[in-house]
């Protein structure tokens, strides 16, 4: 095994953490640029159509996608579940699909955007469930609870009944998912280091 591969020296976990922190930093910058009831109602997607934040969100999505793709390569190198490897790559690609399907440019693009977002969220939830069901601990339960709580807030904000907290729900959900993925990466990393130690 090449010592430069991310399964050694905690590279995978560190890289994932760095790219996810960068992503959330770009979200914070977007919030500092524009924040209103419209943003809360439209969610993170609003930053992809507002002229003052498109570039910032695109950069954040690109870095996050690269981090997810690298993490999928790490999972593949340590014999992670094939669907997990594919799922992480689907999420990475979906980030770009969200950018090229602005929800405010007609019915087709709006539905494409919504379908992509929902599909991506379901994949993220499945990954969070993988952590919860297979590596149950206080940390994994807490991470899953954050993701689930954010997802429920976001889902409750979608119908037009005056509960406009989609932005907050999406951010909390993404924090929870990021935490779950970080824990999964840590677990697979420790498992791989243990396997290498046994072979030494």
Can you give the pLDDT at residue 36?
Answer: 87
Can you give the pLDDT at residue 192?
Answer: 74
Can you give the pLDDT at residue 134?
Answer: 87
Can you give the pLDDT at residue 103?
Answer: 93
How much is the pTM? 0.90
Can you give the pLDDT at residue 189?
Answer: 84
Can you give the pLDDT at residue 3?
Answer: 40
For 26-80, what is each residue's pLDDT tens digit?
999 999 999 888 999 899 999 999 999 999 999 999 999 999 999 999 999 988 9
What residue ranges of the chain have pLDDT lower than 50?
1-9
- Closest by CA to 151, choosing from 165, 139, 140, 137, is 165
């Amino acid at each position: 095994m090449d010592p430069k591969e991310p399964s050694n020296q905690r590279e995978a976990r560190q890289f994932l953490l760095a790219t996810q922190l960068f992503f959330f930093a770009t979200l914070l910058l977007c919030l500092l640029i524009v924040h209103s009831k419209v943003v809360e109602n439209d969610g993170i997607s609003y930053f992809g159509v507002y002229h003052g934040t498109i570039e910032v969100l695109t950069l954040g999505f690109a870095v996050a996608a690269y981090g997810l793709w690298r993490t999928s390569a790490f999972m593949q190198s340590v014999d992670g579940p094939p669907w997990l490897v594919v799922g992480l790559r689907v999420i990475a690609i979906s980030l770009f699909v969200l950018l090229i399907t602005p929800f405010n440019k007609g019915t087709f693009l709006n539905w494409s955007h919504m379908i992509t977002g929902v599909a991506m969220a379901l994949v993220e939830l499945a990954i969070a469930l993988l952590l919860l069901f297979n590596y149950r601990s206080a940390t994994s339960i807490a991470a899953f609870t954050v993701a689930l709580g954010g997802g429920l807030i976001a889902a409750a904000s979608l119908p037009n009944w005056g509960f406009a907290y989609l932005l907050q729900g999406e951010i909390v959900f993404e924090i929870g998912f990021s935490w779950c993925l970080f824990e999964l990466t840590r677990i697979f990393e420790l498992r791989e280091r243990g396997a290498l130690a046994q072979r030494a």
